[in-house]
Structure 1
Amino acid sequence: MKIASPRRRTGEIRAALTGANGGFGRTFLAQLRSTPDIRATALIDPDIDGTVAMLADLGITEFETADTPSGAHAAAASDKTALLSSLEAIDWDSIDVLVEATGNVPAGAAYSEAALDHGTHVVMISKEVDTAVGVALAARAAETGLSYLPGDGDQPANLLRLLDWVSAVGLDIVAVGKSSEYDLVFDPESSTVTQNGECVPVADFAALLALGDDVPATLERRAQSLSALKRRAAADACEMTVVSQRVGMPADVPEMHYPVARPSELADIYSTREDGGIRSHDGIVDVFSALRLPDEASFAGGVFAIVRAEDPATWDTLRGKGHVVSRSGTLAAIYWPYHLMGVETPLSIYAAVDGTPSRNPRPTTMMAARAQRRMAAGTDLIVAGHHHEIAGVDPVMITPAEGTAAYYVLSGTTLRRDIAEGEIIAVDDVDGIDGRVLGLNQAVQDV
């Protein structure tokens, strides 16, 4: 049975979704069937046919294709969802909240800027857009009394919600983060580890299931055993940059640590180096690769906070109840082992309309691009693939420096000079940066 929500009803909320024909879009639209106070008045995606097919699969029939604002307005006025292929066709008078999910920085920046210009709240699903121009968009929203929020259901917003709770309780936070997208599943019978369908042999890996006395050494051996698997992704750095800009915590190392860890080990692993862990100082963001056995529950791309266990008796009691406390008894891990994509996003829409206070991003951290090898002038930098990565460069989280290009600002550009291995790419090193994106990105200098 469904239990009625206790939240204050504000009347019907009219939402528009960009990048509608995608995995997130489907989960979001499916969930709206259970949140009747939120209505999708517009779905925007160049692939109209694909969007129609998705709606048919969901059993949604009340929609109408439109190519002008007047057509979109007429569809919304007749309680239908307008299917649009471009920004120019949007009727902003029919929209209270824009949910931006294109994952495309130039397009997402244009949609978001237009929404704010028309008095429309923005829920930002596209973390790529947020890391490139989110600081400027949030500042513009604040100036006009509008909401600009990361979307619940993805790790950044979920981690920020967890941190709000931990902070409200009064716990002292030393590290925060998330697991990478896919678990590492170790099968002792076959001596293999599987990650997202890719299976690698791992002889003697059973001996590495326990951390042992030398935690860094065990983590290094685990990493070496799994070196054939791709565990680092631009998406992870992107999500942690979104969080870092809102809480002021940097990455401990530019690439983040990515320890191969069982959830029960997090408090020990994120101890300081002096105490046998990997952390160099308090207040960091990081990502770990979740290791489990086939019959153990998944971390499901969840989020965590490492806090000080300030009263030993309290935390010894909690350890007995199954909570993750370090062997020293000085740290504990609090975590939410899930992120539910569009299923949770209605929470952000409610928060946007209600004006719920949120953490605004600041230009304290940037996600930059570091060359993996020498790159020749004329090389095209193209964001591609499931993880939205640029071939030949590593995403790194660094302190912003004048002239350095944010990773996703480089989307669709071409190198104008040779780049040495290990070099961070600058704005002046490329041609073809989108003018709107560059303007918004450079505006953060004044925020």
Structure 2
Amino acid sequence: MNLAALLAARADAGRPVRIGLIGAGKFGSMILAQAQHIAGYHVVGIADLDPAKARAALNRVGWAEERHAATSLQTAFDDGTTFVTDDAAALFAHDGIECIIEATGHPLAGLRHASAAIDAGKHVIMVNVEADVLCGPLLAARAQKQGVVYSMAYGDQPAAMCELVDWVNSCGFELVAAGKGMNFCPGYRYSTPDTVWDYFDFTPEQVASGDFNPKMYNSFTDGTKAAIEMAAVANATGLDCPGDGLAFHPAGLQDLATVFRPRDEGGQLERTGLVDIAASREPDGRVVLNNIQYGMFVTFRAPNAYTRDCFQQYGLLTDPSGWYGSMWRPFHLIGLETSVSVLSAVLRGEATGASTRYRADAVATAKGDFAAGDMLDGEGGFKVWAKAIPAADAAAMDALPIGLAHHIRLKTSVKRDQVVTLADVEVTEDLDIFEMREAQKAMLSE
């Protein structure tokens, strides 16, 4: 670990790492909260559709007003301040900006921003997992050709899972599964933005503070965010989604190695090499003992008896046989840690996880029975949840990805829990993104 030393050398040489941030919502605010405390880390520009909201975010996280008072990107570049704008394209056009952080949370805007940044020769940190699961493999391939880094955001759970998978592979253990914790039980599946706060302990004052978006939190609750993130991890690691979607096995810390091993070995997995969720609630709603709601984990198998014995000798949590072990990280701090990705991309030319293959997809699945003519409302809404399935299956049925399920009209009726296909909807907008999706299907054979 030498990122801090590399950054210090750049700072001493008068060459700070210069960044453009798109999106000053909750994740972006957390990025900005830490940026002001990292010497040699210069946010040159912030682009947001509502600059006043971006300035309010800067003030809320403790920035002095003079620090974001620059009147142009060039002024900000020259004097070490920050320029706030509503023009994301200006960030791509400025030669001094090395890395773009895409944190809008809007999948279609995210894809367009990332494409333009890559074409401009910028590294891209894709906070926007919704965009990544839609066309991340295609963007990663474009970035490689362009000689820049396309990366997941460290601090978010997918990048942490990729780090754990890399640890397993680097140690020579047999990778069995990777996943994360989540507050979920089957009844949450049909939550809506009107009911979502029933599942959280936030006060009305917290909800009204501006940091709490009901659709975003509903995506966490109904399992959609889990599907998006786990499909992205599959695309980054070569693991697979279960054939019928994530199972959300209830499991506490002490049971990870037992639950997340193959069924023929006494576990719950249909086979090795899968992603899934360690639910923090039992199906009846009871809280799982020692749950890892905010954590990430991997399970792995010892390659030989000597290694199995070492697992026991050094206190690793294992299954009863001792052959299967687990490793976990108990927390993630999302935007507070994203500087690690920026510095890794700029200073080492390395991604902190990247969707380099098309292995999995997150597809729109009906929350109820809906008629032709009804409008779908996308991630975290009233109409659909996302199911993580193998990419080959999604392509074979021509499934509608969750990222394209917003403001699109049904032309056939659908039943509850039915995967929505392209044949079920009227495709009239965002044709450029549909073309990217078609191009990505060619990666299935790679």
TM-score normalised by structure 2 residue count = 0.81
What is aligned with 1:119?
Answer: 121
What is aligned with 1:27?
Answer: 30
What is aligned with 1:331?
Answer: 324
CA offset at residue 50 of structure 1?
A: 2.0
Instruction: Note if contact 2:311-2:322 (Cα within 8 Å) is conserved in structure 1.
Output: no
Residue type at the aligned position of 1:117: D
Q: Is the strand fraction higher in 1 or 2?
A: 1
Separation of aligned partners in 2, 1:233 and 1:313: 40
What is aligned with 1:419?
Answer: 414
Separation of aligned partners in 1, 2:429 and 2:421: 11
Instruction: Note if contact 1:242-1:361 (Cα within 8 Å) is conserved in structure 2.
Output: no
Percent of aligned pairs with the same amino acid: 26
Separation of aligned partners in 1, 2:333 and 2:291: 13
TM-score normalised by structure 1 residue count = 0.81
SS across alignment from 2:34: helix
Structure 2 unaligned segments of length 5 or more: list them: 186-197, 203-219
What is aligned with 1:350?
Answer: 343
Separation of aligned partners in 2, 1:424 and 1:310: 39
Structure 2 counterparts to residues 190-209 of structure 1, below 5 A: 196-197=200-201
Structure 2 counterparts to residues 171-182 of structure 1, below 5 A: 171-180=173-182
Return the match for 1:251 from 238, 241, 245. 241
What is aligned with 1:393?
Answer: 384
CA offset at residue 340 of structure 1?
A: 1.3
Q: Deviations over 1:110-147 (max 9, x none)?
A: 21111112111100001000011212211111111111
Separation of aligned partners in 2, 1:23 and 1:372: 27
Structure 2 counterparts to residues 367-386 of structure 1, below 5 A: 367-383=362-378
Separation of aligned partners in 2, 1:277 and 1:298: 18
User: Residue 271 and residue 231 in structure 1: after superposition, are their counterparts in 2 closer, same or farther (change >3 A)?
Assistant: farther
Comparing 357-366 and 373-382, the one that deviates more: 357-366
Matched residue count: 395
CA offset at residue 297 of structure 1?
A: 7.2
What is aligned with 1:430?
Answer: 425
Q: Deviations over 1:67-98 (max 9, x none)?
A: xxxx3333333322111123344343232100
CA offset at residue 33 of structure 1?
A: 2.4
Match status 1:237 vs 2:230: no
Separation of aligned partners in 2, 1:99 and 1:343: 13
User: Residue 283 and residue 27 in structure 1: after superposition, are their counterparts in 2 closer, same or farther (change >3 A)?
Assistant: same
Separation of aligned partners in 1, 2:182 and 2:158: 12
User: Residue 338 and residue 182 in structure 1: after superposition, are their counterparts in 2 closer, same or farther (change >3 A)?
Assistant: farther
Separation of aligned partners in 1, 2:437 and 2:105: 16
What is aligned with 1:6?
Answer: 5
Comparing 33-42 and 142-151, the one that deviates more: 33-42
Q: Is the helix fraction higher in 1 or 2?
A: 2
Return the match for 1:63 from 68, 74, 80. 68
Structure 1 unaligned segments of length 5 or more: list them: 184-193, 199-229
User: Residue 29 and residue 363 in structure 1: after superposition, are their counterparts in 2 closer, same or farther (change >3 A)?
Assistant: same
Residue type at the aligned position of 2:356: P
Q: Deviations over 1:55-76 (max 9, x none)?
A: 123133211376xxxx333333
Residue type at the aligned position of 2:5: P
SS across alignment from 1:325: coil
What is aligned with 2:141?
Answer: 139
SS across alignment from 1:324: coil
Residue type at the aligned position of 1:409: L
SS across alignment from 1:6: helix
Instruction: Note if contact 1:18-1:43 (Cα within 8 Å) is conserved in structure 2.
Output: yes
Return the match for 1:446 from 437, 442, 445. 442
Residue type at the aligned position of 1:250: D
Q: Deviations over 1:155-196 (max 9, x none)?
A: 11111111111111111011111111689xxxxxxxxxx963
Return the match for 2:52 from 49, 52, 59. 49
Q: Deviations over 1:348-385 (max 9, x none)?
A: 111211212665421221111122433211211113xx
Instruction: Note if contact 1:315-1:325 (Cα within 8 Å) is conserved in structure 2.
Output: no
Residue type at the aligned position of 2:130: E
SS across alignment from 1:197: coil
What is aligned with 2:302?
Answer: 309
CA offset at residue 286 of structure 1?
A: 0.3
Return the match for 1:277 from 249, 267, 273. 267
Q: Deviations over 1:12-45 (max 9, x none)?
A: 111111111x221122112112322221011111
CA offset at residue 248 of structure 1?
A: 2.1
Residue type at the aligned position of 1:355: G
CA offset at residue 426 of structure 1?
A: 2.1
Q: Deviations over 1:306-347 (max 9, x none)?
A: 111344455455446542100122211111111111122111
Instruction: Note if contact 2:70-2:81 (Cα within 8 Å) is conserved in structure 1.
Output: no
